[in-house]
Every structure is written in structure tokens, then in C-alpha cells.
Amino acid sequence: MKRKPATLAKQHGTPLFIIDHDILRRNYRLFRSRLPRIQAYYAVKANSQQEIVKTLFDAGASFDVASYSEFMQVYRHLRSFRRKDKDFYIWDKIIFANTIKDIATLRKIRRYRPLVTFDNAEEIDKIKAHCDKAGLVLRLKVPDTGSACELSSKFGAEPADAADLIDKAESLGLTVEGLSFHVGSQCTNFDNYIAALNITAEIFHEARSSGRAMNIIDIGGGFPAPYDPTAPRLTRLAKIINAECDRLFPKEVEIIAEPGRFIVATAAMLVTEIIGKASREGKTVYHINDGVYQSFSGVVFDHWTPNFQAFRAGPAEVCSVVGPTCDSFDKITLAAQLPGNLRIGDYLLTENIGAYSIASATNFNGFGPPKVIHINN
């Protein structure tokens, strides 16, 4: 980024959410180069800014969508793409990876013949009744211990139920095109991927040997963002995944992934402003103009611990940083290391805030999301 965040904040005001599209492209390229067999379907939910979708689309990404609205956000790019590429097929660009879809959504997406995930028998009946042209991907429940956000308590079929679910779908005339899983978000326990790939391979080969024409393996998201120097790196994880995929799945099997956080977390920073300062129980408390109901929603929904940097020098001490709402829940951190001499009007910088931040921001108390600017777009 050529222009400094404080300069941009002076120009645009605060809170200011700055998205660097060079970093988005770099993260996407890194993902593809480390995992060359795996197409990346960016999980739009991580940050659904249309400009991000466009940049990644132009870079060659495909997309994981969770709702009709996200589906259309991506689909609008496909219209022009389709004219240029005659071999284009919607499954190459979009997977609807929310295992539960309401009936209205199924009816709306039916005409696009989408690829959709499912994980239970009721969903098969719904798909048959309202979206019978869809291709199906069965999501399996896999170990997610040690991931920052565990997903297996809400999603995924028990592996022992997989064969029956596949049989049910096929008996209704639907086709199960493949299998998927998600090891939990910000997965730093790489054994989860090994276990998940092995569980998936067993079901995949069993299904194929009973005549099912399955050809897609979707390894979900979970790829850890390098929030700090101790976070495990993609390069190490990629070696494990590549070796397991080559060992477990023949070359013709199409392997896809749904990275969200890895692509977008490090591509954004936020400049906030101190709007109040108090000493409470012996500790300095900085009140800033963005909080857990807006850009810092990841503190609540994503088990995220934000970092803060000051633009003014001074000896660091343990401070609290809290948001602007008139509500005691709006505490961002009680343990920031910041100078105690900061003043009202000073800026604070938070890096690596691209994922699961503004995507879940609210208007609580009348404080809306921050202004968003896109650099090098």
C-alpha cells in the first residue's frame, strides 16, 4: 500500500476500513501455487464486498456462496464470462455450500442447475421437490478439534450415514457428484485435514465401487491466516494436503477448496479514532469509534483477538479498548499493549481485519459499519 493509513484516515475520516487488492491477489496466487491441484472457491461470507468478489473473479477464483444474495453477487460476473468461454459450466465457478437452504432459495436457484451441498435426508427431499436440477455434494462431519471456530456440531453427516444418504438421493433420481467437509475455521491442527481426507476417501471409494459416478472432493475452508508469526504457515499444510490427495484420490478426481479467511484476513486494516479516555479500576480505557457490533464483530463471532497499534510513541501498558455503543458488552479487548499517553482524536491501527469483520457488522445504537475504501482496485 503506497499511502499510509493515517494519511488515508485524514482524507476519508474514521473509522476507515482499507482493503488492499494487491494482497488479495497475492493470497489467492499463493493458495493456488501451493495447492496446484486444488481450485479455490473463495468463501464469500468471509467478506462479501463486491469489489473483493470482482478482484478474485478476475484473478481466476471460483466461489462458495451461502445464500441467494451471495449467489447473485457472483452470478452477475458469470454473464459476461459465459459469452467469452463456451465451455463454461456454472459448477466450475460456484458451489452453494450451505447445507440447509430454504425452499424459496431452492426454487430461485433451480434454473441455474447449481452444485449444492447437503448433509441430511430432509434436505434431499427438499432439493428433489424444489431444485431437482441441482448436482449434490454430501458434506461429512469430520474432526475439528483445535480450530478457532468449530463447525461440526452444526454441519455434516455422520460418516456412518453417508452410504444411506447417497442411496436415498440417487433413488430419487438426484446425483451425488462428490463429498465435502470443513475442518473448522483457522485450523491450526493439521491432523484434522489428514483425518478428514482419509474419512472422505473411504466413503468416496466405497461409493465408486458400488457404481456411483462421484468425481468431486471439496476440502472446505479452515486454512489458517498468518495473524502472527507463530501461526502455522500454508506451505507446511499444503505439503500435507498435496501428499494425502495424491495418495488417496486418482488424478481425474476434481479437488476443490473453500478458503475464506486465508484469502481476505491479511488484506485489510482498520483505522479507528479515540473518542473517549477514562481510568477505570486503575486501568486506562480507550473508547474508540468502532466496536464489537461493527468491524470488531469477529471478537464475538470469530473468537478473534484484534491487535492495536498507536501512531504516538510512549511506554506500553495494559489498556482496555472498548467500542462506542452505550452497552457494556462492547469491549474489544481488556489487554491491549498501548501507550497510556494517547489523546482524544488519536488514531489506532488494527491489521489483519479482513475476515469475518465488516461482514457481520450491525447498526446497533445507530453506529453503522465503517467507511470502506479499496486500494489498487
Ligand X SMILES: Cc1ncc(COP(=O)(O)O)c(C=O)c1O
Q: Which residues bind ligand X (CB under 6 A)?
A: 43, 46, 64, 97, 151, 182, 185, 220-223, 258-262
Residue nearest to ligand X (CB): 221
* C-alpha cell recorded at residue 298: 469477529
Name the CA dihedral angle for 207, 220, 74, 115, rounded to a multiple of 10 degrees. 10
CB of 87 or CB of 228, closer to ligand X:
228
CB of 178 or CB of 221, closer to ligand X:
221
CB of 222 or CB of 291, closer to ligand X:
222
- Closest approach, Cβ 97 to ligand X, in A, equals 4
269 in Cβ contact with 5 (< 8 Å): yes
* CB contact burial 73-112 (16+ within 10 A = b; e otherwise): bbbebbeeeeeeeeeeebbbbbbbbbbebeeebbebbeeb
- Closest approach, Cβ 24 to ligand X, in A, equals 14
- Closest approach, Cβ 43 to ligand X, in A, equals 4
CB of 242 or CB of 360, closer to ligand X:
360
Give Cα separations from 124 to 136, 166, 184, 349 (angstroms): 9, 10, 24, 47
Query: In which element (H, E) is residue 321 found?
Result: strand 316-322
CB of 66 or CB of 121, closer to ligand X:
66
Pick the catalytic residue from 131, 245, 319, 326.
Answer: 326
> Which residue do the cell numbers 495447492 mark?
35
- Closest approach, Cβ 222 to ligand X, in A, equals 5
* C-alpha cell recorded at residue 190: 493439521
- Closest approach, Cβ 185 to ligand X, in A, equals 3
- Closest approach, Cβ 370 to ligand X, in A, equals 21
- Measured CA to CA, the distance from residue 15 to residue 86 in angstroms comes to 44
CB of 176 or CB of 348, closer to ligand X:
176
CB of 225 or CB of 348, closer to ligand X:
225
Q: Is 149 a catalytic residue?
A: no
> Which residue do the cell numbers 482524536 mark?
345
The three-state secondary structure class of 15 is: coil
- Measured CA to CA, the distance from residue 34 to residue 182 in angstroms comes to 19
- Closest approach, Cβ 225 to ligand X, in A, equals 8
* C-alpha cell recorded at residue 259: 478458503
56 burial (CB, 10 Å; 0-12 / 13-18 / 19+) is buried
- Measured CA to CA, the distance from residue 136 to residue 116 in angstroms comes to 5
- E strands along 33-133, which residues? 38-43, 62-65, 94-96, 115-118
Give Cα separations from 32 to 36, 128, 191, 234, 247 (angstroms): 5, 35, 21, 11, 19
Half-sphere exposure of 232 (CA within 13 A, CB side): 16
Residues with a catalytic annotation lie at 326
